[in-house]
Amino acid sequence: MDRYLQDLARLRRTTAFARFLLAGACAYSLLALIFGWAVGVEALVRGPLPHHAMVPSTALCFAILCFSGLVSARGRSRLPVDLSIMVILLVMVNAWLRSVMQNDSIDTVFGLFETGNDRMAWGTILGMLLAAVSNLLTARGFSALSTPFALLGLATFFALFVYHSFDPDSPYSLPLFTETSVVTSALFVIVFLAQLLRQDDELRACENRGGLSA
């Protein structure tokens, strides 16, 4: 019984911390979308000048992904799956627009925000697909399969955040991530860490086992 209580306490702590990370990232993404783009507080989306900005569609995808993770933590439902698929579709449309429509993007097509030369970067597209697939697998109950995607994403963007030069004119910028914002990289680190820490299925199983034994 003591071992069960210790496992339950550990699962609750790690899952609560993961939810805290997701809630924080979701809140920041919405702040960046509203105040960074609608109001014009550039520091929220760009960090130090003249770095690239986290574009509105990237902020929206982060908010949807984080909200999906928070909803998934509350129990089984179709909504987290649908939200993950929505993010994948948004990212794929952005990738198609960049490839086919002369470097265009959702942000410029609809003209809701003036993003200048900033677009969803190819490195961001890769990271968002990894995060969305990991989230989708977790929502479908395949947590073990989602782990490699989250690990790859965390390792990639942690290394990027620490070692990459986000100055667009720097010769030390990695080609795939040249346009990736420092804000975007930091949010990816938080999201992928939260995905690895989430143990919703294990926590529910542990709580159910306790309820049955009670």
| Residue whose C-alpha is closest to residue 18's, from 66, 82, 61 | 66
Higher pLDDT, 146 or 212: 146
Q: Three-class SS string for the chain?
A: CHHHHHHHHHHHHHHHHHHHHHHHHHHHHHHHHHHHHHHCCCHHHHCCCCCCCCCHHHHHHHHHHHHHHHHHCCCCCCHHHHHHHHHHHHHHHHHHHHHHCCCCCHHHHHCCCCCCCCCCCHHHHHHHHHHHHHHHHHHCCCHHHHHHHHHHHHHHHHHHHHHCCCCCCCCCCCHHHCCCCHHHHHHHHHHHHHHHHCCHHHHHHHHHHHHHHC
Which of 26-40, 73-87, 91-105, 195-209 has maximum average pLDDT?
Answer: 26-40
Cβ(167)–Cβ(173) below 8 Å: yes
Cβ(161)–Cβ(186) below 8 Å: yes
pLDDT greater than 50 at residue 160: yes
Supply the mean pLDDT for the chain: 82
Supply the pLDDT for residue 214. 44
Cβ(140)–Cβ(26) below 8 Å: no
CA 106 remoteness from chain centre: 18
Cβ(70)–Cβ(84) below 8 Å: no
Question: Rounded to whole angstroms, how far apart are CA atoms 29 and 45?
Answer: 9
- Helices 182-197/122-139 angle, 10° precision: 20
pLDDT greater than 80 at residue 52: yes
Cβ(63)–Cβ(26) below 8 Å: yes
Question: Rounded to whole angstroms, how far apart are CA atoms 58 and 191?
Answer: 13
For 3-42, what is each residue's pLDDT tens digit?
Answer: 666 766 777 788 889 999 999 999 999 999 999 888 888 8
For 162-200, what is each residue's pLDDT tens digit?
Answer: 877 666 666 566 777 878 888 999 999 999 999 988 766
pTM of the model: 0.86
Supply the pLDDT for residue 101. 74
The CA distances from residue 100 to 105, 125, 167, in Å, are 10, 15, 27
Q: Which residue has the tokens 């993003």?
A: 115
